Structure 1
Amino acid sequence: MAAPAFVAQLNDQIANEYAAHQQYVACAVYYDAQTLPQLAGFFYRQALEERDHAMMMVQYLIDAEEQALVPGIAAPQTGFSDAVEPIGLALAQEKRVTEQISALAARARQEGDYASEQFMQWFIKEQIEEVATMTDLLRVAERLRDDVMDLEDWVVREHGEGERDGTDDVDEVDPGRGGVGSSPTASGCSRAMKFSISIGSCSERWTTRSRSDMVAISST
């Protein structure tokens, strides 16, 4: 059993993670509409990571025999003045999430809930990486504000061709199974469609992942 105060705060954080997911989708769609596929792919991948974070928290509460709440969230920002603005927004978001994660770890310790405190350690490490990634991207984007194609090239060099769509797991979806997986194959899809297929693949993995796997993730 987790401490009640921690459970309430973690449920709030689930909402924050889903809000971050939606904001990253909005950023990706903006770049997609501007025909900037590398930046679009980068943010589609970030969106999937935020969704995974939310689901890790949901699974932790289920495993702790606590109630996990599925939240409603506010609409994300969808309009941007240029290619740099979404990155600045993303960095501010990651810094805010870092503060929220630290507060959760502090709450767990304050309540003497050491299992929950250990669970939060993975997220603390993850946020250090997320803030560093967005900080670097923003610095480069500001230098290349007037040459966005050079920024696209930098994203390829730093984050790799294979990650540009943010849907490396799409190939795991069997088109013959029906549902989301029955959509066109990954090679024939737009970035947005690949993202949709990947969401379906992730959903299936979350519903079939064993509790022992989740414990391994949370203690990494």
Structure 2
Amino acid sequence: MTRDQDQLTKFHALLQEQIRNEFDASHRYVATAVHFDAADLPRLAALFYAQSVEERNHAMMIVQYFLDRDIPVELSGSASISEAAPTSFESARDAIAAALRQEELVTEQIVALAKAARDEGEFVGEQFMQWFLEEQVEEVSTMKTLLTVADRAGENLFALEDFVARELSASEPRRTPPRAAGGAL
């Protein structure tokens, strides 16, 4: 027996919205990757394409959470996803700064979700959000570091490419993520 949409808590409603937010972030990262790909910066392009897949996987983890909890999944459209995401930036720094702003926004959304779960006594949901909180710390930190390196590299985009290849390509073992519906890509 599934829960009706009108029985959903504020936490569940925000989590439904977060599915759209994660797909939106994925869409924006594809656009940023296209910018770097068009500028013949393959390491930066690959980083942002991978980031897009990661955001998609986050959305699918939330879908799986709803499926596991026998809660209806709402996949309504989003005005922001239908809006064009920029595929052109004045500089690599501007593209990275936009990505940092995106991660800071997502962090605010995740914190609001964790707070709503706690406030409502939704302990399973609160536990689920812990992985996302940890993930956001890492994602904001990565974008801040990349922005600092972009500032230091200035117009030397090869130095920025070298940094990405050297420092951001290796994946460190992290806490096991939640399952993604249909499997993570």
TM-score range, shorter chain: 0.7 to 0.9
**In structure 2, what is the Cα distance between the partners aligned to 1:102 and 1:159?**
25
Correspondence for 1:41: 46
Q: Are 1:12 and 2:17 matched, yes or no?
A: yes
> How high is the sequence identity, in percent, across the aligned residues?
47
Asked whether 1:59 is paired with 2:64, we answer yes
Instruction: Say whether 1:135 aligns with 2:144.
Output: yes
1:34-75 residue CA offsets vs partner (Å, 9 max, x unmatched): 100000000011001000000000110111111211132322
Instruction: Kindly indicate whether structure 1 or structure 2 has the higher relative contact order, using CA contacts under 8 Å at least 6 residues apart.
Output: 2
TM-score between the two structures when normalised by the length of structure 1? 0.72
Q: Which amino acid aligns with 2:28?
A: Q
Which amino acid in the other structure matches residue 40 of structure 2? Answer: T
Which stretches in structure 2 are left out of the alignment for 5+ residues?
A: 172-179
Which residue pairs with 1:94 in the alignment? Answer: 103
Q: Is the 8 A contact 1:30 1:79 kept in 2?
A: yes
* 2:55 aligned residue (38, 50, 62): 50
Q: CA separation in 2, counterparts of 1:118 and 1:20?
A: 23
Runs of 4+ residues deviating >6 angstroms: none
> Offset at 1:3?
5.1
| Aligned residue in 1 for 2:153 | 144
Task: Name the aligned partner's letter for residue 134 of structure 1.
Answer: M
| One-letter identity of the residue aligned with 2:135 | E
Aligned to 1:187: none
- The answer to whether the 8 A contact 1:28-1:39 is kept is yes
Paired residue for 2:30, among 25, 33, 47?
25
Q: What do you get for the CA RMSD once the two structures are aligned?
A: 1.9
| TM-score, normalised with respect to structure 2 | 0.85
Code of the aligned partner of 1:81? E
The count of corresponding residues between Structure 1 and Structure 2 is 167
- Output the CA distance in 1 between the equivalents of 2:110 and 2:24: 15
